[in-house]
Structure formats: C-alpha cells, structure tokens
Structure 1
Amino acid sequence: MPATPPQAAAPLSAPSPEVPVTSTPEGHFPEAPDPQQLLDFVRRAATDAELVASLPLDPEERTWLRLEGPGGSEAWLIGWPPGTGTGWHDHAESFGAFIAASGELTENSLAVRLPTDGWKTLELAEGVDRHRTIAAGKGRFFGQQHVHEVLNETAEHAISVHAYYPPLPHLRRYSRSGPVLRLEQVERPEDWQ
C-alpha cells in the first residue's frame, strides 16, 4: 500500500437503489464488476461495524487494510487522522468507488480528462475544479483517469472504503501550484503491496 493509498465521474449524494448482482456461491462476481457494483460493495463494507472496528487507527498517520473486492477488484479500508490527505493523483486505467464509513472527507477533483502520456506540466483552464464533502454514509464512483485529492480537514478521525477495477496498474502523482499541474512520479503496485 502506498504511503498515500489509492483513492477516488459521477457524484453520489444519496444512496442509490441496490442493483441486483449475480454472484457465485462464494460471493464472487462471475465477471468483472461495473462501477455501480463497486459502489454497492463499498457501501456494504462501510456498514459492516465489525470490519470498520477492525482497522487499527493511528493519531498521525493513515492506516489501511486490504479487502477482498468483488470480481477481482482491489479494495481498501482506510483510516484518516485529522489533517491527512492523499495529494493529487489518478488511478490510471482503473475505475472505482469510495465511501466514508465514519467521519467526513473532502474531495477536490478536476472535471477534465488529462492526456495520459507525453507531458510533465499542464496549465489547467478556469472552471475545471470540483469540491465535494463526503459525509459518513455518502460516496461516489469515478471513471478512468479521474484526477483528485482526498483530505480529512476535520478534527475527527475518518474511515473510508475504496475499490478499484481493474486492480491498479499504477498511480500517477501530481503537484499543483494554482492552475499548474505537474506530473511528479508514477507508483507501481510493488511500491505499496
């Protein structure tokens, strides 16, 4: 798991109706999950009080547990002490979902698809920034190459559940100064496994 684990383009402000999902007797999807199935998975995991309570919390550093996601997806339970965050990043070719199980998170994202290769620095146009508050029980799913940062800007610990499909091939990390976005590094799964 990276020092700043993977996170999370359609907002979800209220629970959506449960989507029937065909599964095998072991509880695995017979085929690759879609974004709604990932959202349903993180929603169910976030309401599992025993699972959420099993996450060891640290007062200064984020903590995480790897979960078995549906259909071969990658999933994480993440603890967020006050003042922690991911920094700007994307999830490459993976789509995913996340939900706050407790506490409140802030998501800043870009409402624009960036070129995947051939650049180190981009100047962003006005109006591409999006800001969301993700309260306990709320979440969202997102598409491929979704660029965002997730933060705990409150005085209380937050816990969230995240799932990605396909499992993250890599994670691109960015720095940002005003409208300028700079690609800083690419992390591979072996960097956080």
Structure 2
Amino acid sequence: MNAVDLRLDHLAIAARYAATPEDWPVAPRFNPVDRWYHRLAVADDHEVWLLTWLPGQGTDLHDHGGSAGAFHVFAGTLTEDTVSIPAGGPARITGRELGEGAGRRFGSRHIHRITNRSSRPAVSVHVYGPALATMTRYRIGADGLEVLTVEKAGVQW
C-alpha cells in the first residue's frame, strides 16, 4: 500500500485546518451581501482559504485557473453543482450536498458552483494548489458552456 503525501493532499490540508479553528488568524465573519472569505495561509505549493456562506449565498459556475484543490465543510451544509459535458451532448449539471465534516477533492479542470441552499449559515475551508492566479466564470447557454469572464488574483479578489 502506498502512503499518501499529506503535504500534497489538498483535502487532508483542509481537514487539518478545519480541525484547529483556534489557530485561524481571524474568526469567521458573515456578510449579508456576499459570501465572506479570508486567506488563512500560503505556501510554495498551495494556499488555504476560509469562506462563509449565509443561506442563499453561492458562487457562479467557475474553474480555478488550472489549480487543483479541495474543500472541507466546517459547519453547515453546502451544495456543489458540477458540470460535465458528454461527447456530443449538452452540458449537464449534477448536484451533491455536503454536510458538516464532509469534503471534496477536485482536479485542475474542475468546473463547479457552490451554494448554501440550507436555512443555516455555513463555513468551509478551501485549499488550492498551486495558489489561485485566475478563475474563469461560465454560464450554460444555447451553445453549451460559455465563458463570461476571467478574473485575476489581486485584481478581482
């Protein structure tokens, strides 16, 4: 059996941060207008973000600009909708609910959106490797997946 290198396992890193909230440099905050986020840590090969989600808050469909990653639900429940495009078929969205303690790894070509569809606030820890440089936002149109914008780190977030 091969050992997993926990330094490179984004979900293990997210779970480790979620297990020690007393070490976070800030306490989670909630913004009634939009989800709140704060970068907890940055290393040569990854970065760690803390996000909060009030009921109804979420992201658009997006990717992570070639970064792989993971997220761990620290509190509450989040729904992740992922996009798949079958050969010759229309884009399809599949939803999955993740409750407190659940997590999800994703690859560098992953397109998804995350939403708090519950009636309670949620908190999550996200890890991206390498650190995010860009994020592309999408919509599903008549011709399939369409690019809306490409956002750059340090400019749009």
TM-score bracket relative to the smaller structure: 0.7 to 0.9
Mean CA deviation greater in 158-167 or 57-66: 57-66
**Identity rate, percent:** 32
Q: Which residue of 2 aligns with 1:42?
A: 14
Q: Which residue of 2 aligns with 1:151?
A: 115
Cα distance change of structure 1 residues 52 and 79 upon mapping to structure 2, 3 Å threshold: farther
Letter in 2 for 1:89: H
Measure how far apart 1:64 and its partner are.
1.3
Cα distance change of structure 1 residues 127 and 66 upon mapping to structure 2, 3 Å threshold: closer
| Runs of 5+ consecutive residues of structure 1 not aligned to the other structure | 1-17, 22-28, 114-123
SS at match of 2:11: helix
Are 2:51 and 1:83 aligned? Answer: no
**How much is the aligned-residue C-alpha RMSD, in angstroms?**
2.7
Q: 1:110 aligns with which of 59, 83, 95?
A: 83
Instruction: Judging by fraction of residues, say which structure has more helix.
Output: 1
Instruction: Judging by fraction of residues, say which structure has more strand.
Output: 2
Measure how far apart 1:161 and its partner are.
0.5
In the aligned structure 1, how far is the partner of 2:85 from the partner of 2:144? 14
In the aligned structure 1, how far is the partner of 2:25 from the partner of 2:103? 16
TM-score norm. by structure 1 comes to 0.70
Equivalence map 1:40-189=2 (5 Å):
40-50=12-22, 51=24, 54-69=27-42, 71-112=44-85, 125-126=89-90, 128-177=92-141, 180-189=144-153
In the aligned structure 2, how far is the partner of 1:151 from the partner of 1:178? 23
TM-score norm. by structure 2 comes to 0.84
Q: Which residue of 2 aligns with 1:12?
A: none
SS at match of 1:55: coil
In the aligned structure 1, how far is the partner of 2:152 from the partner of 2:33? 25
Whether the aligned pair in 2 keeps the contact of 1:101 and 1:136 (CA below 8 Å) is yes
- State the number of aligned residues: 154
Measure how far apart 1:182 and its partner are.
1.6
SS at match of 2:15: helix
Letter in 2 for 1:49: P
